[in-house]
Amino acid sequence: MGRLGELEPVPRRSTVEIVSAELRAAILYGSLAPGTQLGEAELAARLGISRGPLREAMQRLVQEGLLHSEPHRGLFVVTLDHDDVEDVYRARLAVEREACRLVMARNRGEAVARLTEALEGLVTAARERDRVAMSDADQAFHQVLVSASGSPRLERMAQTLLVETRMCLNALQDTYPEPEELVEEHRRLVDAIADGAEDRLLLLIEEHMIDSVERLRPAP
């Protein structure tokens, strides 16, 4: 919310926006599994809209890379192979590394505050051994990190990449790090920011990505 009662534009969301967010969430939580074909008629009926707006929303996800289109055949949820997993984390590294640099340069205070809050969510989820909540909190943490950088473009890129990350995790649901380890990795990131230790932070974020992709390696 805009602080101090500032007048901000009312967030009037168009139908396309709502529907594309809906689809994105469905892909993120795996209720639209990789490889699934999206039948237009059925989906439109389930969403209570006609095919027109639905098709527009789907084109957004195509551009995002979450769907791929085979002309005259249909739209399918992308399936990520191991190379893609690597690629996702590599791209995330590029984005989040720059985000870290920005945060250190111009927004440390607020970042630490918001990240500490996000970290608490992760701690709670870890304590309860709730994998979905942990994924949610993990994603939220990184979203906050990039958001705190104040770069709209990095933020937009990160959003897509985080969805793809979740797809990886869903596909390989078994291998998920020890909750404590995951919490610690994130806590160290917050500490580094709080300490103003940029070099350490950059090393940590790189390690964090390498660890993540490593954990996903032995799977098929």
SS3 34: coil
Q: How far is the CB of 79 from a copy of itself (least distance, A)?
A: 14
Backbone phi and psi for residue 68, each to the nearest 5 degrees, phi listed first: -130, 145
Location of structure tokens 């990160």: 158
Residue 117's identity, in one-letter code, is: E
Q: Which helix (H) or strand (E) holds 9?
A: none
CB 157 within 8 Å of CB 115: no
CB 149 within 8 Å of CB 81: no
Judged by beta carbon distances under 5 to 8 A according to partner kind, the member of a copy of itself, DNA, none in contact with residue 152 is a copy of itself
Q: How far is the CB of 125 from a copy of itself (least distance, A)?
A: 28
**62 near a copy of itself, judged by CB under 8 A:** yes
**72 near DNA, judged by CB under 7 A:** yes
Contact with a copy of itself (CB under 8 A) among 33, 45, 50, 65: 65
| 8-16, 39-47, 176-184, 186-194 -> range binding a copy of itself (CB under 8 A) | 8-16
Judged by beta carbon distances under 5 to 8 A according to partner kind, the member of a copy of itself, DNA, none in contact with residue 102 is a copy of itself
**68 near DNA, judged by CB under 7 A:** no
| 50-58, 79-87, 109-117, 170-178 -> range binding DNA (CB under 7 A) | 50-58
Q: DSSP readout, 100-136?
A: HHHHHHH-HHHHHHHHHHHHHHHHHHHHTT-HHHHHH
CB 185 within 8 Å of CB 211: yes
Residues of this chain that bind DNA (CB under 7 A): 14-16, 37-41, 48-53, 55, 69, 71-75
